[in-house]
């Protein structure tokens, strides 16, 4: 399995997932840069994603929905804050309604993705999610974010093969 560690830090309001992939950094970056690649792994295996918008540039917007086994379609959005290809990406992540309008009743999170080359030639990916409050962190983790993201990331090895 590609996920090496998951660490929740309520004091820092963060959830950190670390993974390692047997691929060069440029290939792993492509998993974020190419929406068709992103669709193959963003979302748990039972909730595949479809990306509607994908502007991976500072100030850009990314919108998507996932389709569940019962046909339900939760929607989400990212507001891209910074991009330093192929090393780092930072975006605000939130929930949306069916038309892509952000759901203001749900918390938003900041996500920082950092890729680094290991001496072995593998690529290390660290995803740090920062929550606005302990309550928001508990709510989103209780909704299954930790398991969902870990499950989503477990699909990456097959894509890279």
The SS3 call for residue 20 is strand
pLDDT of 160 above 80: yes
Task: Look at residue 102 in the predicted model and tell me its pLDDT.
Answer: 93
- Name the pLDDT band for 1 (thresholds 50, 70, 90): very low
Angle at 132 between CA 8 and CA 77, to 5 degrees: 95
What are the φ/ψ torsions at residue 129 (nearest 5 degrees)? Answer: -105, 130
Paired with 6 in beta bridges are: 17
pLDDT of 131 above 50: yes
Give me the number of domains the chain comprises: 1
Strands (E), 32-147: 49-54, 61-66, 75-84, 88-96, 109-117, 123-130
- Taking the C-alpha atoms of residue 33 and residue 137, their distance in angstroms, rounded to an integer, is 27
pLDDT of 140 above 80: yes
Domain residue limits at 120: 3-160
Q: Looking at residues 24-42, what average pLDDT do you find?
A: 96
CATH number of the domain enclosing 81 = 3.30.530.20
């Amino acid at each position: 399995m590609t996920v090496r560690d998951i660490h929740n830090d309520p004091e820092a309001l963060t959830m950190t997932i670390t993974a390692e992939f047997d691929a060069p950094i440029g290939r792993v970056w492509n998993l974020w840069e190419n929406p068709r690649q992103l669709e193959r792994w963003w979302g748990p295996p039972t909730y595949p994603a479809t990306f509607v918008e994908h502007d991976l540039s500072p100030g850009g917007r990314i919108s998507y929905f996932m389709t569940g086994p019962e046909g339900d379609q939760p929607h989400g959005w990212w507001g891209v804050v910074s991009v330093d290809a192929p090393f780092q990406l930072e975006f605000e992540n939130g929930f949306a309604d069916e038309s892509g309008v952000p759901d203001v009743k749900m918390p938003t999170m900041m996500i920082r993705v950092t890729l680094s080359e290991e001496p072995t030639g593998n690529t290390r990916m660290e995803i740090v999610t920062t929550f606005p409050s302990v309550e928001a962190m508990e709510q989103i983790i209780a909704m299954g974010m930790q398991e969902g993201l870990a499950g989503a990331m477990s699909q990456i090895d097959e894509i890279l093969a």
